[in-house]
Structure 1
Amino acid sequence: MNSLLSLLLAAALPVPAPPPAAALDWFTCGKAMDAQCGYLTVPVDWAHPGGAKIKIAVGKRAAPDQEHKVGTLVFGPGGPWDPGVDRVTNGYHRFSANLLARFDIVSFDPRGSTGSQPVSCDPAQVAAVPNPVLTSQADFDATLAYNRELWAECERRTGDLWNHAGMTSNVRDLDALRAALGERQLTFQGSSYGTLLGEAYAERYPQRVRAIVLESVDDHSSRSTAEFLTAQAWASEDAFDAFVSWCDRTASCALHGRDVPAIWNHLYDSAVAGRPDFTPFDLVAITYKRTKDVDYDLLADYLEAVDGGRPGVRLGSLPVVLPAFCADWSLPARDYREYASLLRQAARVAPDTHFPAQVMALTACLGWEDVTYPQHELHVRTATPLLLLNSRHDSATGWNWARNVERQLGRHGVLVTYEGDGHGSYSISQCMRNLADAYLISRTVPPRGTSCAAGS
């Protein structure tokens, strides 16, 4: 409670200006050979700026007409820990021709990721990796022991960066990047987990915000593990329902004319009963991925094949936990009894899909204690309202999350809805791109309640 109060007070108080940042030294890079790369030097621990340093990898694609550009647009990658540099040095399809013409486009690899001193871990030095979904107190205890042993191994290999990879450090890195680029105010477009960075920046540095787009919106206000999990379960079920509706009206769907939820649940029950070729989590995770990417035909083909007796897909073990996520979310469970209760609550919200794929976050972060950026209601007071973009049906960042963030922002945020399916509406819809581009270029804020039709 005290840490949360301190966070909110810090957001409300004036933030001292940082010392002048050194300009970045750029060098040519990328497949197209018209991009540039550089490194931003920042403290490992921002509380001790004179201590050890880390180099953040940065990429830039310069606007062709430097005299008439609007400024610099910083892209915040998702993930967490998606590589942003690759987005601007090896392919520009993420950005419209309008943005490429009017802005220098800059992105970065967040600390601890690909080009920015990636965290080093060796799970082979630790006991067997636990399953993402726990089924007993023995599983719970084994997962706690595994996580703690793994984290100690990762910290030994990585050093102090392991303890400073969360949002409180990333938001300071972003402001240092803004200063190094010579921008008085930040123009930013964050996607998926990158929206959390945009929210944190607007909260901490409201006067340094020119314009911020949050695409596929993360809601960081969940007051409990149950609230987080049920919100994600709602989004998963909603996206699954959109897939079922598509199959019902699409003759080319492999399951057209059949009871898709019944088939899915038959497969789920067979996995629970011990079918050897896939687990309940495998089925949930594959469904999540296919609905997120709107690969409906591939999902239908897969379900039909597995229902017909072909082997299912095993996803293997979880990747090494990202301290970037565990340090940003407090998602505790005291014991297996509480954990099982959380899954039952999720199943009540999602009677078909049962639980969301994000249950893996509970398992991967089980036992994590040093949450440096706990959940809280947003407190943003920017001169220009933040622009939120979200699909109506998105299994990763549900419309329920976007609506809740708009509520928290009040007059300082406006949500535009893509009345269709999928994760990442800017990439899906020309209508959404046009609205976002107008906002970023001229700060034209759409009327509240604006939406774009599916396919537009």
Structure 2
Amino acid sequence: MTAGALQWAPCDAPGNPGAECATLTVPVDWADPDGPTLGLAVARRQATGPGTRVGSMVFGPGGPGDSGVERVVAGISRFSPEVRRRFDIVSFDPRGVGRSNPVTCSGDLLAQRPSPQLASQADFDATVAYNKRLRADCRARTGPVFDHLDTLQTVRDLDALRAAIGEAELTFHGSSYGTLLGAEYAETYPHRVRAMVLESVMDHSVATTREFLRSEAIAAQDSFDEFAKWCAGDSTCVLHDRDVRTVWHGLLIRARQGELEDPAKPGTRLSSADLVNKIAFRKFYTADYAGLAKAIAGMASSGPLPASPTSVSPLPPSTPVFCTDWRLPVHDHRQYASLVDTMNRTAPDLPFLLAIQMTAACLGAPTANPQGPLAARGAPPILVSNALHDPATGYPWAVSVARQLGRSGALLTYEGRGHGSVTRGPCMEDAVDGYLTDLAMPPRGTRCPAVAS
């Protein structure tokens, strides 16, 4: 792959001019480089200060399932003005996502997903059988790339992209699930890294299903606790004079009974799992506590719908990407029930978090890239950034990844809330900008104060 491999042209994006798009051809299976190929959708925005341009920086999107192309086309506001001035920002849709041979499955079959609330061994067996049927359907509709979706394949795609944009060394910013891509790139090609920011960090060394689920539950519950603490102490919270947990648990009861209306879809019922993951958890991502309080107050004051069973929302088609990267075995219903109990005791305010739903969705799936300790020997300094109160990638994961990187890892702590932190105030921006542009690593142990959301 060479720089000439990419033919840039303006993206078809009315209202968002300036982005350029291209297609990078890569093998479906890097173990068979002369075999079938697929086209990876790529996009870039050129540096706004060409006279001070450092080079290209590749953004690794999260999810799994986020489109890097859409992020670039939309304007890359997640990066500071200094980074946008000094770097071409390049991203891509990972294989199986967006415009890069997306995973395609039967909509009807996706809508039949069993509830993660498995009450018996028969329910457990039915879920395993459903997963097998869904994988066969998705494979038939998606094509051969379906069997090659793991992050180690995407690492090879990323290295091909590095070469195609003409960079001898990679400058990379990975966010959330994109940090797994960055970490495994540094492990595979440590001497091809110029600079790397891992923001909101996945810890792929978490070895067991119980450890994974418990750590996810701890992070989510911490965000609920922060929300409740904020509401009790801030008179602008619309629930300031009420017990937030009491109101919230009232909504959970109504949702379990099928009586809670979805505020986004009048007349339809909101399940307890969707109340947790689509209402609360999404607000935790941006630390929009005021917005969450308003949403809770609005639902609490709404009239009940006639009691009726609620449906389970389909998981994203990109779920197979997660399944191929995480080996989370559950042997039977008894063990599954024990795991659910562990999560509910760890996060009593947030039953059936997405993590247990993903675990159920991966039952019986093969894992090409299972967890293991990170060893990026020979890599240059890598900046690991995390909020202290991150609902999805808890702070202990960032501490663990920085420790695994050893001399190569430096942890930058944002003492605030939310998922994502690198532009939260001048302290964070200056530390990240100085590292990316001048390779000036902030002092070890740097902590930046929280700023108002």
Please report how far the alpha carbon of residue 21 of structure 1 lies from its aligned counterpart in structure 2 after TM superposition: 6.7
For each residue in 1:335-368, what CA deviation from the matched residue of structure 2 results, as whole angstroms up to 9, or x when unmatched?
A: 1111110111122322333453321211221211
Moved more, 227-236 or 355-364: 355-364
Structure 1 residue identity aligned to 2:323: C
Structure 2 residue identity aligned to 1:295: D
1:386 is matched with 382
Structure-2-length-normalised TM-score: 0.91
Structure 1 residue identity aligned to 2:369: Y
Equivalent residues of 1:72, 1:103 under 8 A apart: yes
Pick the aligned partner of 1:430 from 417, 426, 435: 426
Counterparts of 1:41 and 1:311, CA distance in 2: 53
* Structure 2: stretches of 5+ with no match in the other structure: 261-268
1:120 is matched with 104
Please report how far the alpha carbon of residue 131 of structure 1 lies from its aligned counterpart in structure 2 after TM superposition: 1.7
Counterparts of 2:441 and 2:284, CA distance in 1: 30
SS at 1:115's partner residue? coil
Structure 2 residue identity aligned to 1:75: F
Once the two structures are aligned, what percentage of the paired residues are identical? 49
Is 2:329 aligned against 1:332?
A: yes
Equivalent residues of 1:23, 1:182 under 8 A apart: no
The 3 A distance-change label for structure 1 pair 349 and 244 is same
The 3 A distance-change label for structure 1 pair 274 and 136 is farther
Equivalent residues of 1:288, 1:357 under 8 A apart: no
SS at 2:136's partner residue? helix
1:228 is matched with 212
* Structure 1: stretches of 5+ with no match in the other structure: 1-18
1:26 is matched with 8
Pick the aligned partner of 2:280 from 271, 282, 287: 287
2:409 is matched with 413
Please report how far the alpha carbon of residue 274 of structure 1 lies from its aligned counterpart in structure 2 after TM superposition: 6.1
Equivalent residues of 1:132, 1:281 under 8 A apart: no
Pick the aligned partner of 1:155 from 136, 139, 144: 139
For each residue in 1:369-402, what CA deviation from the matched residue of structure 2 results, as whole angstroms up to 9, or x when unmatched?
A: 2x11111111112442210111111111111211
Equivalent residues of 1:393, 1:421 under 8 A apart: yes
Moved more, 113-122 or 225-234: 113-122
Q: How does 1:251-400 map to 2 (within 5 A)?
A: 251-272=235-256, 275=259, 277-285=269-277, 286-311=279-304, 316-369=313-366, 371-400=367-396
Pick the aligned partner of 1:167 from 151, 156, 162: 151
SS at 1:402's partner residue? helix
The 3 A distance-change label for structure 1 pair 54 and 211 is same
Equivalent residues of 2:103, 2:318 under 8 A apart: no
Please report how far the alpha carbon of residue 288 of structure 1 lies from its aligned counterpart in structure 2 after TM superposition: 1.4
Equivalent residues of 1:71, 1:104 under 8 A apart: yes
SS at 1:55's partner residue? strand
SS at 2:325's partner residue? coil
The 3 A distance-change label for structure 1 pair 380 and 57 is same
Please report how far the alpha carbon of residue 437 of structure 1 lies from its aligned counterpart in structure 2 after TM superposition: 1.0
Pick the aligned partner of 2:35 from 45, 51, 66: 51
Structure 1 residue identity aligned to 2:374: L
Structure-1-length-normalised TM-score: 0.90
The 3 A distance-change label for structure 1 pair 163 and 311 is farther
Q: How does 1:130-141 map to 2 (within 5 A)?
A: 130-141=114-125
Is 2:434 aligned against 1:442?
A: no
For each residue in 1:399-452, what CA deviation from the matched residue of structure 2 results, as whole angstroms up to 9, or x when unmatched?
A: 121112122222211111111111111243332122111110011111121111
Structure 2 residue identity aligned to 1:63: A
For each residue in 1:107-161, what CA deviation from the matched residue of structure 2 results, as whole angstroms up to 9, or x when unmatched?
A: 1111111111212211325782212333332322221121111110111111110
Counterparts of 2:396 and 2:351, CA distance in 1: 18
The 3 A distance-change label for structure 1 pair 322 and 73 is same
Please report how far the alpha carbon of residue 62 of structure 1 lies from its aligned counterpart in structure 2 after TM superposition: 1.4
Equivalent residues of 2:393, 2:419 under 8 A apart: yes
